[in-house]
Amino acid sequence: MEASAAAALYPAHRCKNLYLVRHAQGVHNVEEKKDVVDYTLPELLDAQLTPLGWSQVDCLREHVTKCGLAKKIELVIVSPLMRTMQTAVGVFGGGNCTDGVSAPPLMVEGAENSGRQPISSLNCPPFLAVEACREQLGVLTSVKRSSITRYRTLFPAIDFSLIENDEDVLWGPDVIEANESVAARGMNLFDWLWTREEKEIAIVSHCGFLYHTLNMYGKECHPTVAEELGKSFANCELRSMVLVDRSNLGSDTSTYNFAGKIPTGLDMPSDVADKKHTEEASKN
């Protein structure tokens, strides 16, 4: 059997599993289907989910629950916009709140006139809002976020501590963010994940962000793989990816490797064999 350079091996502790999700259908997505659309309409500001969007959320929630993924995820990173946060808590949250439970909800009852029951923060991973995974910025009112103060009243259990400004200082009405800039912040976000301990991470974001970021990664892949990475996400679509640390970005100091929990250190039979091979090589 001839060796192939097409395959690659990486230690498991230098890989993370990412579950990338595009938000469910928002009111702005419905507008996009019209022949003539004014994307600067005030009513599209920080667009929320449609009734169909919530149905998509319920379907994906059922899927991740049945397949066991919901129990594996250790962290949910979410773009701080209404539709992504609604999608994230609806899919990965702890279910409806119950009386007598003091934990803050992930989403309050009827948030943004959604008509939904409150969503519990119990028995689910932590949720962290990160600006880096927002949609391509500029011009469209749908990609401008509301204030963090307002979000905290609607999504009390989401962690907004990494967001520096209460109001949206990134969005502007005149300049569209370059595709390369979107991809760069996406790749920087993925690099930042290596500073975290979690291995199973969901990221709930937007079509443009995911499209440009994955296309940049696809440039180093076989054309077939690049084509697969570069496909646009449908509303509420989930794709599983493996993030590989090829540049020693991670801060892994574990004394264990892989699921077998074999401690690193001296392995006497191997050490003896290595020494023997070294001695034989020096004689030749």
Distances (CA, A) of 252 to 65, 103, 187, 227, 267: 30, 32, 20, 32, 21
How far apart, in whole angstroms, are the C-alpha atoms of residue 111 and residue 186?
29
Are the CB atoms for 215 and 183 separated by under 8 Å?
A: yes
Catalytic residue numbers, as ranges = 23, 135
Are the CB atoms for 244 and 10 separated by under 8 Å?
A: yes
Are the CB atoms for 54 and 182 separated by under 8 Å?
A: no
Tell me the three state secondary structure of residue 74: coil
How far apart, in whole angstroms, are the C-alpha atoms of residue 117 and residue 99?
12
How far apart, in whole angstroms, are the C-alpha atoms of residue 144 and residue 82?
10
